[in-house]
Amino acid sequence: MKISKELISESEIQKKINEIGNLINQDYAEKDLLIIGILKGAFITISDLAKRLKIDVSFDFMSVSSYEGTESSGQVKIEKDLDIDITGKNILIVEDIFDTGLTLSYLKNILESRNPKSLEFMCMFIKNTEKEIPLDIKYKGFSIGPEFVVGYGLDHEGKYRELPYLAVLS
Ligand code: IMP
Ligand code: MG
C-alpha cells in the first residue's frame, strides 16, 4: 500500500486544534483537568493540543487495541492501564479516530466505573457521519468518509503515524 491522497491538510488540522484548545481553555478555566491520551494513535493530537492549553492540566496515557491490519477485531484489550487514580477528577479522553465506537464505548464503561467527577471525550477524526454515535463526543475534529486513513498519529501496521496531515491509503 502507498499513500494515495491527502484528505486533510496540516494547516486545516492545526486550525482545528487551535479552535478545540480555545474551547477547552474556556470550559476548564476554573477546573483542574486530567487529559487521558489513548495510545498510540492520539500521541500527536495530544502533543499539539497540550501546547495550546493555558489551564491547570495533567496528562496520563492508556493503551488499547482493537485493530488488526485494516480491520477491527471486534474486541478491545487494555495493553497499558492508567498510572493515576481518576476518582473525583475531571477527565477528558483524547482519541485519534472514531470508527465503530467500540473503543470509546468500552473506555466509557471502564472509566465511569472508577467514579471520575466528570468524563468527556475529544475525537480528532470521526468516520461515517450518518451512523449513530453511541456516546456524546464533546470536542470533535473532522468528519470523514469510511476509507482507511493514516497520518497525524494514525498508522497502517505501525507506519505513517509521523505524517503531519491525514491521508488515504490505496
Ligand atoms: P473503533 O473502536 O472501531 O471506534 O476504532 C477505533 C480505533 O481503531 C482507533 O483508535 C484506531 O486505532 C483504529 N482505526 C479505526 N479506523 C482507522 C483508520 O482509518 N486508520 C487507522 N486506524 C484506525
Ligand atoms: Mg487507536
Q: Decide if 165 is inside a domain.
A: no
Ligand 1 site residues (CB inside 6 A) read 41, 66-67, 72, 95-103, 148-150, 154
Closest-lying ligand 1 atom to the alpha carbon of residue 38 = 10
Task: Say which of 48, 56, 83, 99 is annotated catalytic.
Answer: 99
Q: Indicate the pLDDT class of residue 12, thresholds 50, 70 and 90.
A: very high
Q: Decide if 68 is inside a domain.
A: yes
Query: How far, in Å, is the centroid of ligand 1 from the Cα of 65?
Result: 9
| pLDDT exceeds cutoff 70 at 23 | yes
Closest-lying ligand 1 atom to the alpha carbon of residue 149 = 19
| pLDDT exceeds cutoff 80 at 95 | yes
Share of the chain above pLDDT 70, in %: 92
pLDDT digit string (tens) for 146-158? 999 999 999 999 9
Q: Decide if 121 is inside a domain.
A: yes
Q: Indicate the pLDDT class of residue 129, thresholds 50, 70 and 90.
A: low
Q: Assign residue 52 the CATH number of its domain.
A: 3.40.50.2020
- The strand order across the sheet containing 149-150 reads 3-8, 166-169, 149-150
Residue having the nearest C-alpha atom to atom 3 of ligand 1: 100
Nearest ligand for residue 104 CA: 1
Q: Find the range with the poorest average confidence among 19-23, 38-42, 54-58, 99-103.
A: 99-103
| pLDDT exceeds cutoff 90 at 94 | yes
Give the total number of structural domains in the chain: 1
| pLDDT exceeds cutoff 90 at 126 | yes
For residue 9, what pLDDT is reported? 97
Query: How far, in Å, is the centroid of ligand 1 from the Cα of 47?
Result: 19
Q: Decide if 1 is inside a domain.
A: no
Q: Decide if 85 is inside a domain.
A: yes
For residue 40, what pLDDT is reported? 92
Q: Which domain holds residue 126?
A: 9-147
Q: Decide if 81 is inside a domain.
A: yes
For residue 131, what pLDDT is reported? 67
Q: Decide if 22 is inside a domain.
A: yes
Q: Decide if 3 is inside a domain.
A: no
Answer yes or no: 99 catalytic.
Answer: yes
Give pTM, 2 decimals.
0.93
pLDDT digit string (tens) for 29-70? 999 999 999 999 999 999 999 999 999 999 999 999 876 666
